[in-house]
Structure 1
Amino acid sequence: MRLGKGVEWAVHTLLNLNMAESGALGTPQLARAHDLPPAYLNKQLQLLVKAGLLVSSVGPHGGFSLARPVEEITLLDVVLAIEGDEPMFRCEEIRCRGTIGELSPRPTGPCQVKSAMRRAERAWHEALAGQKLADIQAELDEEPAVRRIVRSALD
């Protein structure tokens, strides 16, 4: 399973907004901070707004700001906002096809492969839900220059 680069961009942008502590910031500022294409980043930011992780304001001092504190935002929140909530595994019921399907009695229960994959996906979701952006922020705060650099880059 591979997450799109939008997830990485979204997590960094949320953390940067938290460290900037300067209110709303526009897409050009946020994109320039990591040399990202503004139009594509803006799509990710709109998904974060739709998910309730960012708020967007218009006007000369408009832009994006955190909708909730980083203590209340999990990696699962970000992944679902950017990637959606479709299951990672789609069972095609191949157990009922081909020679094996013809020779086997009709299954009465769920596919064991599907069940195992769903258990793994639930465990992955639980692990992501257990990681708050505040946890990552705490690690970043161990490097004293990080906040200063982020603030400087976003000015």
Structure 2
Amino acid sequence: MAKYQKSLIAVDLSQESSEVIERGLAVSNGCNVSLLHVIEPLTFAYGGDIPMDLSEVQEQLQSQAQEKLHKLAEQHGIKTADCQVVVGQPASEIHRIADEAEVDLIIVGSHGRSGLALLLGSTSNGVLHGANCDVLAVRVHPSE
């Protein structure tokens, strides 16, 4: 079995992100690793019902996310140049970035969801279905 050349670790910046990165680095086995965080546009969350310009808030969210992602990268020995924050629908943005960068492994965290969250589907499930490469879903355990 060929060794992975490039991997993409997609994190949600929750407390469990470090767990996902550590597992991702372990299986990536020294290949090129990049980190990705996808922010859903505020207009998705509010369905455009709010009669105000949310672009400034969106920019603040992006710069805060970038800061957190860079901190995580530094803690795990990943260059900040290999970090990316994008806005969009998580699963499709992860697919797009993975295809553009020609990665052969995507690593995402998976929370064992139940009830309504399970019914609505999760990002890791969305990434798995539609990826053009291997996907590793890391089971994360929420910190109490």
TM-score, with length taken from structure 1: 0.29
| The structure with more radius of gyration | 1
- Structure richer in helix, relative to its length: 1
- Structure richer in strand, relative to its length: 2
